[in-house]
Amino acid sequence: MARPGSSACRGARVVAFWLAVMLVTLLDQATKAVVRQLLQVEGATREFIPHVMELRLVYNTGAAFSIGRGASPIFIVLAIIVLVLTAVFVWRASDVPLSLAISMGCVAGGGLGNMIDRIISGAVTDFFCTTFIDFAVFNVADIFVTCGLAVTFILLARFDSASSKQGRA
């Protein structure tokens, strides 16, 4: 059995990270393609979950809540930085739990999915629109970035806490 931090464990973390990146990116791009085909015209809607959510095709040139409209080049650079930094962290940090590598892969995959949109069309395809509350229109990548960040911060806190305890022992 491989020791934590050994190359076998590192290999598993790296594979899990890149699998998460690829699966999230593929799921994001597939759902966007389906919605673009289904709705075709920006602003078009279709009921998804009655009284909860509809599909609404929106092309967003900004970030969350349309902040930073027209700053696609900056968001592309940020996505590349996040992808590189998370990949390097997963590769270099010793004893990183597999769950942390996967959650970081989800964040990086979501960023990559939105980056692909920005490069190809200059805007991110958003389509989930809540009807029970006024909220931003979002997509699958946004869900993985948001949830992945929350899980990553929790796991990093636990990882740092466990590392600190081992250092004192």
Asked whether the beta carbons of 96 and 15 are under 8 A apart, the reply is no
So what's the pLDDT on residue 106? 97
Select which of 117, 126, 134, 160 is catalytic: 126
Block mean pLDDT (10 aa), the chain, length 169: 57 94 98 96 94 95 68 85 94 87 96 95 94 92 96 86 61
pTM for this structure? Answer: 0.85
Count of residues making up the chain: 169
Q: How far is CA 93 from CA 35, 87, 137, in A?
A: 39, 10, 36
| Catalytic one of 117, 134, 142, 160 | 142
Whether 126 is catalytic: yes
Domain spans in the chain, listed from the N-terminal domain onward: 8-164
Establish whether 95 is a catalytic residue.
no
Write down the pLDDT at residue 1. Answer: 47
